[in-house]
Amino acid sequence: MVAIQLTVDLKPDLPREAERIKKCKGRVFALEDEPEVPRVWLPYDDAPGLAMARAFGDFCLKEYGVISIPEFTHRLLTDKDQFIVLASDGIWDVLSNEEVVEIVSSAPNRSSAARVIVESAAREWKHKYPTSKMDDCAVLCLFLDGKINSEESDCDEQCYSSATIQNNNDLSNPVELDEGQKSEPSLRRNYTVRSSEEIEKCVGGESVDVEDGTSTAEDQNWLALEGVTRVNSLVQLPRFSEEKPNS
């Protein structure tokens, strides 16, 4: 397995990013208690300390070099490409490309690959930065050969796996059970893609009219289908044309 990095984290200390920020009178430096995290600061105020050079929002820094223009790259996939790992900087700040590839390759099954990466990152955060707050960790593993785990259920069958954990508070707060017992915190898989057949299986087999977003059952509680109704209501908003009405 050879890890191929497809993107570059646009951190403020990246030479071209730092040059743009400094030209716009912004400042780039790291705090003494976290020298490993360079941040963007206003010219005459030690705020807000943004740890990235490009972002949506953060309007106070838009005049000082923080932009929201993305970078685009292309890669032609071949038979040698086996999977793609998309993750937030909470993963890449503590795990190398090679370590992530090794974790995915050695995962017991594909559905648990993302979970194992996040758990490994959480351990590394505690080890490398014991005094820092753990950054948000989100991972999605996309397998390119189209194969799925045969032992998974219908609702679990995907060609990808994903897992998310927000910060170290999630690890320090155990879940309280009904019996008063405390269990270890666990990560949830994020099921973002569903076909119409999978939706019917996962919400009890009820059919849904996609055009008007309603269910054939009168006692439908909407659940995940509520978003369909909202989207369709937006689609059905009246459209105004520039044509003048007939007099």
The string of DSSP letters for 143-161 reads ETT----TTS-TTT--SEE
Report how far residue 65's alpha carbon sits from residue 124's, in angstroms, rounded to the nearest whole number: 32
pLDDT at 225: 42
pLDDT at 26: 96
| pTM recorded for the entire structure | 0.60
pLDDT at 167: 65
Tokens 């155990």 found at: 174
Tokens 């360079």 found at: 38
Report how far residue 161's alpha carbon sits from residue 24's, in angstroms, rounded to the nearest whole number: 41
pLDDT at 64: 96
Tokens 């998974």 found at: 152
Local mean pLDDT, 10-residue blocks, the chain (247 residues): 92 95 96 89 93 92 95 91 93 94 92 94 91 88 75 50 68 43 46 49 46 44 43 47 53
Residue 140 CA to chain centroid, in angstroms? 7
pLDDT at 201: 53
